[in-house]
Amino acid sequence: MALATFSVRMDESLKRQFDALCSDFGMNATTAFNVFARAVVRERRIPFEIQASDDITRQDGMQAFMALRAQAKENGVQDLTLEEINEEIRKSRYGEETE
């Protein structure tokens, strides 16, 4: 089987940490990347979950909430009660005109 070169750029500190950990496992970085590549091909997926951190999710959620809050204030509906909100939702669902 012919070999190919695969070059990866990464933060120098991360590389040092990765190399040290691979050494603890008894392998080098090349072997670790080969193990990863074989797992991806075999399983036909990334063999671990990739997701955004909770901090980003919370920040995005808070920004969306604050934007909705500002929009409600602009439209003069920031003080609606829960019953009034539910009535607006009901009217919207059933195609009724809102006042």
Mean pLDDT of 42-65: 79
- What pLDDT, on the 0 to 100 scale, is given for residue 59? 78
Domain map of the chain by residue range? 12-43, 54-93
pTM: 0.50
Give the 3-state DSSP-derived string for the chain, with helices as H, strands as E and coil as C.
Answer: CCCCCCCCCCCHHHHHHHHHHHHHCCCCHHHHHHHHHHHHHHHCCCCCCCCCCHHHHHHHHHHHHHHHHHHHHHCCCCCCCHHHHHHHHHHHHCCCCCC
For range 42-59, the mean pLDDT: 78
pLDDT, residue 98, reads 55
